[in-house]
Amino acid sequence: MANYSGSAANTDWIYSGGTVALDGDFRNFSYNTGIEIINTTAGADADATHIVGVKSGQFAAELVQQVGGTAIDTALQVGTQGTLEYSPEGTAVGKRKFTIPATVTSFALSQPYNDIVSVSAGFERNGSHTLGTN
């Protein structure tokens, strides 16, 4: 077994305007998945029961913004649809890769007076993801 650090990540956002690498100046990526639970408990049931509903997923990226250029800003405008290719361990052959169809649902720019300007983008998964390898 061996640990690995977050710095290994490679993430591309592929959309109609091209492919944008999100990992060049990233601070944090997160990918959360969940499933809807439908409660079926009834009557004199002593224990709660449920059936499972639909799955969902949200991806978030926090990036340090660089001077000049608008490529990343353009690619991350809300409503933009495309595919995320998220490789937490990097892109070496055999390393895991999530392929996630998604829509950009939030874009935030943070500009503190005495610190680096950063941008945060949120993505809502659109369909199922594929867990494969590079």
Partner 1 sequence: MSAWTPLNTCVYGTLSADGTLTGMLATGTPIYYMQAPDNATYPYVVFSWQSGTDDNETPRRSKDMLLWARAHCSVGPAQAGSIDARMDTLLNGVTLTVSGWNNFWTAREQDISFVDTLQDNNKVWTAGGIYRIRICE
Residue ranges in contact with partner 1 by CB under 8 A = 7, 23-27, 63-64, 67, 114-116
Cβ 39 to partner 1, closest distance in Å? 43
Helix extents (H) in the chain? 71-75
CB of 73 to partner 1, least distance (A): 17
Geometric angle at alpha carbon 96, from 93 and 100, rounded to 5°:
120
Asked whether 117 and 109 are in contact (CB, 8 A), the reply is yes
Nearer Cβ to partner 1 (27/55): 27
24 or 34: CB nearest partner 1 = 24
Tokens of 18: 């091209």
Question: Least distance to partner 1 from the beta carbon of 112, Å?
Answer: 11
Q: Are 82 and 18 in contact (CB under 8 A)?
A: no
